[in-house]
Amino acid sequence: MFKVNNNFLKLPGSYLFSTVARKQREYQAAHPEAEIIKLSIGDVTQPLAPAIVERLHEAVSEMGVAETFKGYAPDLGYEFLRSTIAKHDYKSRGVDIAIDEIFVSDGAKCDSANIQEIFDAESKIAVCDPVYPVYVDSNVMAGRTGEYDEKTGLWSNVIYMPCKEENGFAPELPTVVPDVIYLCFPNNPTGATITKEQLQTWVDYANMNNAVIIYDAAYEAYISEDNVPHTIYECDGAKTCAIELRSFSKNAGFTGTRLGFTVIPKELKDADGVSLNALWARRHGTKYNGAPYIIQAAGEAVYSDEGKKQTAEQIAYYMNNAKYIYDGLKSAGYSVSGGVNAPYIWLKTPDNMSSWDFFDYMLDKANIVGTPGSGFGPSGEGYFRLTAFGTYENTVKAIDRIKSL
């Protein structure tokens, strides 16, 4: 008789955003007249920029001509895209990243879930709390759990680092030394950021303790303030302790087309001198046949002069929404944060309502779907996340509704 992977049974029955989507569907079925506004999952609403669409069309045509047809993409991504990334995302910030340190993939979600495969099964992980649930779930699926604490509902090998109002939503160095540290800045879900000096502290800590940092920089394009690092490699010593994840979904609207990349410097080695870059390359070779040529070609167009200009306009559009939400909620008396360097607004639920009670209240009274903070971890309880990725019209409508509650 076969047996399932029991680790999956340690997880909640469904993924946070699937639960939110199901609740929205159920409410809509019961209230067909309700005009629901979805500000829950961080999915873009603006169409792909013209420069990207144009390159997509060209690339599709190339696939229909014998001379330019492409079969399997190279495991690690086409050189044309990897050299463009190295130049625009790193060289332009004074950071040297070689093209064989860049691994192109079909998005940061998969990479952030899969990267744990190259670490020992007994590794302790540390995550910000609240946290993008993929980091924890993927480690639990891999059995990286340890002892279960009935009282807190937490696993001993998953160290939660509370990020609350009191510490500016920035994690403090953990007292138990982890092996793998997940950091995401600008942060999903709180929208908070840390300064370059704060990030340097983490890099020094990781180097001193032989830990590795998985740095999720998916929201880098939304940074508006100085002294917020765009890449962890701006910090001294980061190449010996950090992996960086990047996404084309949020900076260029590729949520439906899928494209991302991971950077693993060759200097990054474990205590026995084993190269993480080589392990990830080995893993890619076995498990992945590369992002499609047409999508990688479209990805390159993001960095063209027109592509840069057009995607910057989209980001400004979403950040205008963020400001509208932030200001509107503040004037309605809510305690709010985020929304300055990130497309997420993090608000405190009123009257000590639980996150899920506030979710139901918003859905029922204002027909707005957001994401309950507790779905992101224990420190998210009593908070609620709204995204700025809606249309401007819906954003205005949603805030008007909240104000008139």
- The nearer residue to ligand MLT, 132 or 326, going by C-beta atoms, is 132
Structure tokens given for 290:
């590369």
Is the preceding omega at residue 186 within 30 degrees of 0, hence cis? yes
Calculate the CA 328 to chain-centre distance: 25
Q: Cβ contacts of residue 48 below 8 Å, gap of 6+?
A: 56, 252, 253, 254, 257, 298
- The nearer residue to ligand MLT, 42 or 265, going by C-beta atoms, is 42
Contact 379, 152 (CB under 8 A): no
- The nearer residue to ligand MLT, 42 or 390, going by C-beta atoms, is 42
**Sheet with 212-216, side-by-side order of all strands:** 102-105, 260-263, 242-247, 212-216, 180-184, 125-129, 158-162
Binding site for ligand MLT (CB under 6 A): 41-43, 109, 132, 188
- The nearer residue to ligand MLT, 43 or 270, going by C-beta atoms, is 43
- The nearer residue to ligand MLT, 253 or 265, going by C-beta atoms, is 253
Q: Smallest gap, in angstroms, from Cβ of residue 224 to ligand MLT? A: 20
Q: Smallest gap, in angstroms, from Cβ of residue 108 to ligand MLT? A: 7
- The nearer residue to ligand MLT, 290 or 343, going by C-beta atoms, is 343
Residue count (the chain): 405
- The nearer residue to ligand MLT, 265 or 343, going by C-beta atoms, is 343
Q: Smallest gap, in angstroms, from Cβ of residue 41 to ligand MLT? A: 4
Nearest Cα to Cα of residue 12 among 313, 376, 323: 376
Q: Smallest gap, in angstroms, from Cβ of residue 122 to ligand MLT? A: 28
Q: Smallest gap, in angstroms, from Cβ of residue 109 to ligand MLT? A: 4
Contact 158, 127 (CB under 8 A): yes
Strands (E), 119-269: 125-129, 148-149, 154-155, 158-162, 180-184, 212-216, 242-247, 260-263
Q: Smallest gap, in angstroms, from Cβ of residue 132 to ligand MLT? A: 6
Q: Which residue is nearest to ligand MLT (CB)?
A: 42
d(CA 34, CA 249): 29
Q: Smallest gap, in angstroms, from Cβ of residue 305 to ligand MLT? A: 28
